[in-house]
Amino acid sequence: MEYSIGIDIGGTKIATGIVGQQGNVRYKRIHPTPNSTNREIVDLLKQTVSEYMKLATEENINLVSVGIGSAGQIDYKNGRILSGTVNIKDWNNIDIRESLSHTTNLPIYLDNDANTFAIAEHQLGSGKGVDDLVCLTLGTGIGGGIVSDGNVIRGKWGGAAELGHMSVNFNGPDCNCGSKGCIETYASGTGIANRMREKLNSIDAGKRISYTEHPDMLTSKEVFEWNKTGLPEAKEVIDQAITALSFGIVNMIHTFNPSLIIFGGGLAEANRWLIEEVQNKVNAIGMPSLVKGVEMKVSKLGYDTGLIGAAYQVWATSK
């Protein structure tokens, strides 16, 4: 069987592994995303690739490529990271193929992380046999991947499908992409934490303490827990996330006419109930003929989808 080194670079963590052609993950490691310079990330990639190559030689594993899925705006044909929001520090203007050229002779594939997520789901997951689907990864940011008539939509150089930056409110919060009111500012992990922090800063100190003494440190996980216990400000933040996501998805359905929406990322995996709420809202606000019958599912491949998709690029393109 053929194997490929997979590398999934997100705003919080980098997952790496050796993945087989059937999507089987043979080795896997998780690193926190370095937060100083792009050099540090590139060094981590070099080290990881050379370790996995050594391991493959020892274990007689037939490696055929290195596949990288990375957050950011990516020239996928030339293997270059063009830019990234501040979710990954200093993630701009990096020639990944050139950077790894002294480490490996294997062909190197590079695409946006949510595009590779869509590749995995389309080839092996919930989207298998489905020609028109939209994928959304809810994590540090919100990533988007679109398959239309069986093809991944990439636009001119690969920058298409930045669905997290679909605005649903031109008076909304500033987004780190330059726009306002993007769905990422309401419904990503960082967005939910930011909106909650704003609320806590606007209420009186006594009430704030009933939530946390450290609003600076809070994460979306806590907001979901507070929502579960019925704390009203947290419920407002989560309701707002559901509403923003639903309006965004209605725009996507009206634009791409998909039959399936697939969700992934830590936030969707940990809060599957959210999807049903979104589905109900989408059905209530979208054009009936378009939203009717659009299915919504959480990734079938689970937490490893990004890693599998990154590795899978070599086989997806040769099919």
Rounded CA-CA distance 12/107 in Å is: 26
Chain centroid to CA 170: how far? 24
| Residue 147: both structure tokens together | 């398959």
Tell me the window of 24-32, 64-72, 82-90, 159-167 that interacts with Ca ion (CB under 5 A): 159-167
CB 83 within 8 A of CB 53: no
Rounded CA-CA distance 252/271 in Å is: 22
182 interface partner picked from Ca ion, ligand BMX, Zn ion, none, CB below 5 to 8 A per type = Zn ion
DSSP at 142:
E
| 94 or 163: CB nearest Zn ion | 163
Total interface residues for ligand BMX by CB under 6 A: 21
- DSSP track, 283-298: HHHS-HHHHTT-EEEE
179 interface partner picked from Ca ion, ligand BMX, Zn ion, none, CB below 5 to 8 A per type = Zn ion
Q: Residue 187: name the closest of 224, 148, 161 by CA.
A: 224
x-marked contacts with ligand BMX along 70-109 as a string, rule CB under 6 A: -xx-----------xx-xx--x------------------
Coil vs helix vs strand at 172: coil
Q: Which of 7, 110, 119, 182 binds Zn ion (CB under 5 A)?
A: 182
Q: What is the CA radius of gyration of the chain?
A: 20
Q: Within positions 182 to 221, which residues make up the interface with ligand BMX, using CB under 6 A?
A: 184
Residue 157 CB, shortest distance to Ca ion, in Å, is: 12
Q: Which of 45, 66, 96, 114 binds ligand BMX (CB under 6 A)?
A: 114
Q: Within positions 131 to 150, which residues make up the interface with Ca ion, using CB under 5 A?
A: 144
Tell me the window of 119-127, 132-140, 217-225, 234-242 that interacts with ligand BMX (CB under 6 A): 132-140
Nearest position to ligand BMX, beta carbon: 141
Q: Which of 16, 38, 115, 227 binds Ca ion (CB under 5 A)?
A: 115
DSSP at 50:
H
Rounded CA-CA distance 138/244 in Å is: 13
Residue 87 CB, shortest distance to ligand BMX, in Å, is: 4
Which residue in the list 90, 95, 111, 113 is annotated as catalytic?
113
Could you say whether residue 74 binds Ca ion (CB under 5 A)? no
Rounded CA-CA distance 225/240 in Å is: 16
Could you say whether residue 175 binds Zn ion (CB under 5 A)? yes
Q: Residue 309: name the closest of 51, 117, 34 by CA.
A: 117
H or E element: which one contains 143?
strand 142-148
Could you say whether residue 166 binds Zn ion (CB under 5 A)? no
Going 305 to 270 to 297 to 190, the CA torsion angle's sign is: negative
CB 12 within 8 A of CB 294: no
The question of whether 43 is a catalytic residue gets the answer no
286 interface partner picked from Zn ion, Ca ion, ligand BMX, none, CB below 5 to 8 A per type = none
Rounded CA-CA distance 190/10 in Å is: 13
Residue 244 CB, shortest distance to ligand BMX, in Å, is: 14
| 6 or 141: CB nearest Zn ion | 141
Write out the catalytic residue numbers: 113
Question: Would you tell me which residues interact with ligand BMX (CB under 6 A)?
Answer: 10-11, 71-72, 84-85, 87-88, 91, 112-114, 137, 139-143, 162, 164, 184
